[in-house]
Structure 1
Amino acid sequence: MNPITKLPEKSSDLSPTADLPKSLPDHTQLPDKDNNFVKNFQEPPEGDLLTHSITPILQQIHPDRQYCIGRDSGIYWRLTESPEPLEKGSVAPDWFYIPNVPQKLNGQLRRSYVLWKEFVAPLIVLEFVSGDGLEERDKTPGTGKFWVYEQAIRVPFYGIYEVQKGTIEVYNLVNGRYQQMIPNEHERYPIEPLGVELGIWEGEYQSQVWPWLRWWDAQGNLLLTGDELAGQERQRAEQERQRADRLAEQLKALGVEPEL
């Protein structure tokens, strides 16, 4: 059984920034746009689905709301030197979660996540493959995404999701190296620090039918979005109304006038 990385403590408890040079740039001074279009129309709903369904879990884990979810946001892990662009020292995962960090810095919304200012790595990073998957599995030292997540940022859990194939690969950082996780009997991957499982669900979301990447709780229940929960409630209410109507008709057939 692979050892699972526990949630880190708060950043202020681990790596205070007081000893860092004041000249190092922060999130307000670093580029936060790469001018690239989103790669396909499925990715934005996928990010919505992952975020909205796990938010109640994260709010239970963090009643103080000290956590961040990023989507296509830059993580700066290396400070580059001119003439190399600053963006070359960053990576922008499709979806990631960082525990025990504030959602705002000095009252400002985050524009990027700067590791040399905070040092708390994301607990999980997810990449959505839109090409052949080579970019997401690139282990080239210094530049490859796989290498950056494993060796530079040291993300405990890394997932590679391929919607066209309907698959998800999950890697766990063990002794400084990624080991590909083996799915459980339900073909899902436990993310134990969060008490959830990650897997593929085929169905319709936001009017699109795909094999979606989704969360389940430890009991095997699919985590639903607020819209899905509301839809279930409407369905239950309609079923209850239909049962009441049938009962009223049966009572009338017996000569009993049902109470309004």
Structure 2
Amino acid sequence: MTFPKISTSLPDHTQLPCEDGTFVKNFQEHPQSILLTDSILPILNRRHPDGQYCIGQDSGIYWRITDSALNGAEAHDWFYVPNVPPDLDGQIRRSYVLWQEQVSPQIVLEFVSGNGSEERDKTPWEGKFWIYETIIQPTYYGIYEVQRERVEVYRLLENRYQLMSANEREHFAIEELGVELGIWQGRYQNMELPWLRWWDSQGNLLLTGEERAEQERQEKERERERAEREQQRSDRAESELQALRDRLRAMNIDPNVNNDD
């Protein structure tokens, strides 16, 4: 393969554009990214106790140097990179620059608004699929089609993407993280939609911080109600015992005296 001629200078993330001026394609995209990030953070924090990882949401990955800088970048809806610092020299990343970082993302996810042809384009040096498979090479590449309520996940094996098969729960296992990726129908941020979400390897939904707080609130409420029921049973038992004592006294029997002898 003949590689295109590129500039010899190597700009870093502070010298490259961090946006292309286009609108987000629909109102689901930003909440979808937040949902994925929020729910997987506990997993990533346990996996990286040193905090060495980063997540990109609607951010660019620069994979080659071109005269027009943005032509050498791909805008990804969501991606995760292990074993890199969360910032660079105390600066928030403006983009993810492969020749600067030298670590490929482990997961890249694309949210499809159209028919998915752009995300499956294998045209050399232009098509997203080709760029991911050949240059950027994330271990997992997911294409989420909200209108069709489906997700395709590819895994990189011997430098080629292989379409993964879903398990019995219709999820795709991300073995390195011990999680599964799939579609969840429900309400999030006031929108009832099919959402792309994570589960653990046992099939338990990974909750957002708000969902975890609500779950804890409900558990505390159930515990309070249980304690109230126990107290009510204890009060009834005490009331019945007191009524029995009163009846015995009315019969001139001292309830405090053992009459077995």
TM-score for both structures, normalised by structure 1: 0.85
Deviations 1:236-259 (CA, angstroms, capped at 9, x unpaired): 2222333334444455555639xx
**Partner SS, residue 211 of structure 1:** strand
Alpha-carbon distance in 2 for matches of 1:231, 1:125? 30
Aligned to 1:121: 104
Unaligned runs of 5+ in 2: 1-6, 241-261
Structure 2 partner of 1:38? 24
1:1-260 equivalence runs, <5 A: 23-81=9-67, 85-254=68-237, 256=239
CA distance in 2, matches of 1:254, 1:142: 80
In 1, Cα distance between the equivalents of 2:99 and 2:229? 66
Q: Displacement of 1:217 after TM fit?
A: 1.2
Correspondence for 2:248: none
- Structure 1 unaligned segments of length 5 or more: list them: 1-20
d(CA) in 1 for partners of 2:238, 2:42:
50
Using the TM superposition, give the Cα deviation of residue 203 of structure 1 relative to its aligned residue in structure 2, in angstroms. Answer: 1.2
Aligned residue pair count: 234
CA separation in 1, counterparts of 2:15 and 2:58?
A: 18
**Separation in 1, partners of 2:101, 2:232:** 67
Q: Name the structure with the higher helix share.
A: 2
| Counterpart residue identity of residue 30, structure 2 | P
Relative contact order: is structure 1 or structure 2 higher (C-alpha 8 Å, sep ≥ 6)? 1
Q: Determine helix, strand or coil for the equivalent of 1:121.
A: coil
CA offset at residue 22 of structure 1? 8.9
SS in 2 for 1:52: helix
| Identity fraction in percent | 63
Q: Deviations over 1:134-157 (max 9, x none)?
A: 111111111111111111111110
The structural deviation recorded for 1:87 is: 0.2
Aligned to 1:14: none
Judge which range, 231-240 or 64-73, deviates more. 231-240
